[in-house]
Amino acid sequence: MAEPRLTKVYINAATPVEIEPGVTIRPGRYPATKQELAVPSFGGRTVWTDPEYLVELAEAQIITGSASNPAFVSTEYNVTKLVHEGQLTLMSFVKHCGHDWNVLHARQREVD
């Protein structure tokens, strides 16, 4: 079985977002992982699954929910549905060619 293809992305919450019942995150930008799985297809080609978006949250990033548990350190959440619904947006970083130094500019993008 092939290893998953993992890409670093950022997820942006413009307002508080309930990511699962009883767990709400604060507005802000969160590092996340875009995960795609390899699936063998006819003819020996590899096809990649639709991406899933995973975010690992620490206690300080959560307004309500798991953070009230004294043993809570961090938990990974699948936020794919929230990205597709537009409650969370993806942020990508692009190199700006107009400078003599490498500058990264964030831009929000929509997901199909």
Predicted confidence (pLDDT) at residue 94 exceeds the cutoff of 60: no
Domain ranges of the chain: 5-109
Judged against a pLDDT cut of 70, whether residue 65 lies above it is answered with no
Is the torsion defined by CA of 38, 57, 67, 86 positive or negative? Answer: negative
Local confidence band at 43 (pLDDT 50, 70, 90 cut-offs) = confident
pLDDT surpasses 50 at 102: no
Taking residues 88-112, report their average pLDDT.
58
If you compute the radius of gyration of the chain from its CA atoms, what whole number of angstroms results?
17
- Residue 51 carries which side chain, given as an amino acid letter? P
Q: In whole angstroms, how far apart are CA 49 and each of 40, 57, 101?
A: 10, 24, 36
From CA 92, how far away is CA 17, in angstroms rounded? 20
Q: How many angstroms separate the CA atoms of 74 and 55, rounded?
A: 10
Over residues 41-61, mean pLDDT: 84
Confidence band (pLDDT; 50, 70, 90) for 104?
very low
Predicted confidence (pLDDT) at residue 101 exceeds the cutoff of 60:
no
pTM as predicted: 0.72
Determine the 3-state secondary structure of 61 from DSSP: helix
